Structure 1
Amino acid sequence: MLRQNKLREEDISKILTAYRKRKDILKYCRAVSFEEIKANNYNLNISRYLISTEEKSDINLNTSKREIDNLETEREKLRNSINNIFKEIKI
C-alpha cells in the first residue's frame, strides 16, 4: 500500500506564510535563483538547497554521569523531606 503524508492546517499555513513573505527560514525554506537550480541540473531535491541536520555536540559521559548522580542524590533528599513532612502531619 502506498503511504501518503497529509498536511495539517498548521503546516499549510506555515508554508503559505513562508511563501508570501519570501524570507529564508533556517532548515525550512530558502529562496533560490534559477541559476542555482540550473547549477544543480534542475534537481529540486530539498537536500540540495537546505541543510536540515542538527549539529552534533560532544557529550562528556563522565560529566553526564556525575550530573545524574547529583540529581539522584537531590531526589533522594527531597523524597526524605517529603516523608518526614508526612510523618509530622501523620499521613
Structure 2
Amino acid sequence: MKLTKADDKIYTAFRESFPDLRIQVLDPEDLKSAEAKEKWRPFCNQFEGIVEDFNYGTLLRLDCEKDYTEENTLFGKWCQHHNYTV
C-alpha cells in the first residue's frame, strides 16, 4: 500500500532514526515522552514540503491487530502514523 510518493524515503528515514522501535505494539512513551518528542520533532519536520499533511494529527492504534477502541488508541502525528501503516 502506498500513501504518498515518498513512502520508501519516509520509511527508510524512520528506520534510520528509530531502528529498534517496535511497530506491531506501540508503547505510548515511545511517542509521547519528552525524550521521544525531541526525536520525533526533527524526524517529522524533514518532510515539510514533501508530504502535504506531514504534521497533522491522527489516531494511532497501539496494537495493530486490535480495533480502534479508547484503550487501544493514541493521538499522534501523521508522520508517526505513516510509518506504522506502510
Same fold (TM over 0.5): no
Higher strand share: 2
Higher helix share: 1
TM-score (norm 2): 0.25
Larger Rg: 1
Q: Which has the higher contact order (CA 8 A, sep 6+)?
A: 2
